[in-house]
Amino acid sequence: MSGLEPSLHMWLTLAIIAAAIVAFASERISLELASLAVLIAVLLLFELAPLLDPATGEPVLDATDILAGIGDPALIAVLALLVVGQGVVQTGAMEVAVRRVLALRRHHPTLAIFATLLVVMLLSAVLNNTPVVVIFIPLMTALADRLHRPPSSVMMPLSFAAILGGMTTLIGSSTNLLASAAAVTAGLAPIGFFDFIVPGSLLAAIGIFYIAFIAPRFLRDRQTLAGEMASGGEGKQFIIQIEVPTVSSLIGAKAVAGTFRALPDITVRFIQRNERVILPPYDDIEIQAGDVLILGATRKALMDAVTHTQDLLPSLLVSRSQDGQDDTDQSPPVRDQMMAEVVVAPASRMIGRNLQQIGFHYQTHCTVLGVQRRSRMIRTNMMNEIRIEAGDVLLILGHREDMFRLRSNPDVLLLEWSTRELPAVALAQRALAIFAGVVIAASTGIVPIVIAAMGGAILMVVSGCLNIFQASRAIDRRIVMLVWAALALGTALQATGGAGYLARQMVAALDGASPAIILSGFFLLVAVATNVLSNNATAVLFTPIAVGIATEIGVPPTAFVHAVILAANCSFATPIGYQTNLLVLGPGHYVFADFMRIGGPLVVILWLAFSLTAPFLYGL
């Protein structure tokens, strides 16, 4: 096969990159399919028309080089950190932090989110961005849920806040360290810890204002179909019965303004105490052992209560076995337990019978926690007296395997979208310890981040915080394919000299312009490149070019090297530009175009801010 000219390889590679951006931005093509098409296009280009080394005549790139990205440490680290973050979520380890941040929502909901983003930005100035984002993904997810906002409204600002903080100090991002190392290789003095903190802080301040107050207004609600259905059903009230055992945190709880703080967002309809029925408003009433509480609660409110009050679940299961036997000593462990809703089928054998007669637990090993009838409350004294009707919705609890067996049960219809795993709160401290170990090891450099992340992922499974099913579900295949394709494109662009060619063309186009104009154009070029290549590759590629441009036009190279650092951190316009963007891609349910629509203007804003202030900061 005859090889093509290297310049033609470069143009074809740039054409594939342009086509890839269009495909990624199109919502008609899935990211997985577009990524696979990009990989095939690059493989075909260098297989059918090899790029040969003029000195040896051997191919510069082969399939092994192009596909090597699947084993890239950065990709493996991202996937492992997703598993670690899922362990934190699964154990409810962030609930305490969420409740403290939520105290701000009483004054202004936006203030709670802004305060969190500000903390993220400050932490990212001295810690690696990736573990900081991993820490705050579950926190921001819970915060958005409590503030009744979609996850898409906070996930992208979270990633951007970390990137902004990382551009203020030398250790804020691996990009900065790589650029410093490349500058030393080019003959410059090492960059100091705070050398670019003034321009970096200026851009970070402008950026944090944009992502906190402007960007959320333009972020679309990217909930999945299941999420939309689930949120649509969160207002349904179930009748729930709790028998307070002799040892319980509910004992002694008093009503304040008619509600019990131990049962937030839950209505206590009445209290059955021996033969006495206590009705609202419960003035001077304390909950006692043996009380039977008849509650009205949504599925979400009940799950939150179980998470906050660890001994509430055994109370729910007391005397709840439908085969007539006390289930107190058979209460299932929280691990692998799921809560879901089922609808009673029209021809169900359960119709006309009460919960004591059904034997539901005996047949399915799942426990009925609550009953709801056509979006209205059922008028009856005790939950066990309710006679089931067709169309009734039962709130049930059971092991994952038992829950999914209900798919073939003719008596009920499992609402798949309603299934939620109960947080294993008893393992929260264990998950936090593993998580802290990963963050400390990665941020201090004791071990590379990929080793720390993989070790943390394994420990989450071995320690019981996650099972294999939960760990595998945390890995988003879109991230795998997208990063794989991006790394292949980066490899091809470096081999063909595309980045260097673009820089030389820019200098030629601005020939005769002032240093400030050339610096501004160079910043924009690097900012565009970092959203196509990885930020680290951009820093390594463009730092020597920056030194060469500064030398050619006769100005100190400091301004141009700093421009590389700051612009290479402007990875806002695509999810492939930075690892943290990939981390929030799944939790935020984003598509490629979301980053272009929100991150693109931020790149332009920071470019204009740098262009206007750089002449004064660097004396150009």
Residue 393 sits in a domain whose CATH number is: 3.30.70.1450
- 385 and 260 fall within a common domain: yes
Cα–Cα distance for residue pair 202/198, rounded to 1 Å: 6
Rg for the chain (alpha carbons), in Å?
A: 29
Domain that holds residue 508: 11-225+477-618
The DSSP call for residue 368 is E
The secondary element (H helix, E strand) that includes residue 519 is helix 515-530
- 199 and 122 fall within a common domain: yes
Cα–Cα distance for residue pair 32/40, rounded to 1 Å: 12
Produce one character per residue of 284-310: b if its CB has 16 or more CB atoms within 10 Å, e if not.
Answer: ebebeeebbbbbbbbbbbbbbbbbbbe
- 294 and 418 fall within a common domain: yes
Cα–Cα distance for residue pair 416/403, rounded to 1 Å: 10
Residue 275 inside a domain? The answer is yes
- Contact status, residue 17 vs residue 532, Cβ threshold 8 Å: yes
AA identity, residue 220: R
pLDDT given at position 398: 85
**DSSP per residue over 397-423, as a string?**
EEEHHHHHHGGG-TTEEEEEEEEEEPP
Residue 381 inside a domain? The answer is yes
- 389 and 535 fall within a common domain: no
Which residues sit opposite 24 in a β-bridge? none
- 219 and 248 fall within a common domain: no
Tell me, rounded to whole angstroms, the distance of Cα 569 from its chain centroid: 20
pLDDT given at position 606: 96
Distant-in-sequence, close-in-space partners of 44: CB < 8 Å, separation ≥ 6: none
Cβ neighbours, 10 Å, residue 613: 14
Residues in the chain with pLDDT values less than 70: 1-6, 25-27, 74, 94-109, 127-128, 131, 222-235, 307-311, 313-336, 374-381, 443, 479, 499-500, 502-503, 506, 534, 537
pLDDT given at position 564: 92
- 194 and 316 fall within a common domain: no
- 559 and 524 fall within a common domain: yes
Domain count, the chain: 2
pLDDT given at position 417: 74
Tokens standing for residue 517: 């104009």
Residue 465 inside a domain? The answer is no
Residue 449 inside a domain? The answer is no
Residue 523 inside a domain? The answer is yes
- 68 and 153 fall within a common domain: yes
Omega before 73 within 30 of 0, i.e. cis: no
Cα–Cα distance for residue pair 212/286, rounded to 1 Å: 44
- 217 and 283 fall within a common domain: no
pLDDT given at position 370: 85
The residue from 425, 456, 486 where one domain ends is 425
Residue 92 inside a domain? The answer is yes
Cα–Cα distance for residue pair 90/79, rounded to 1 Å: 17
- 158 and 255 fall within a common domain: no
Which residues sit opposite 502 in a β-bridge? none
Residue 454 inside a domain? The answer is no
Predicted TM-score (pTM) of the model is 0.64
- 182 and 301 fall within a common domain: no
- 40 and 172 fall within a common domain: yes
- Contact status, residue 310 vs residue 426, Cβ threshold 8 Å: yes
Residue 460 inside a domain? The answer is no
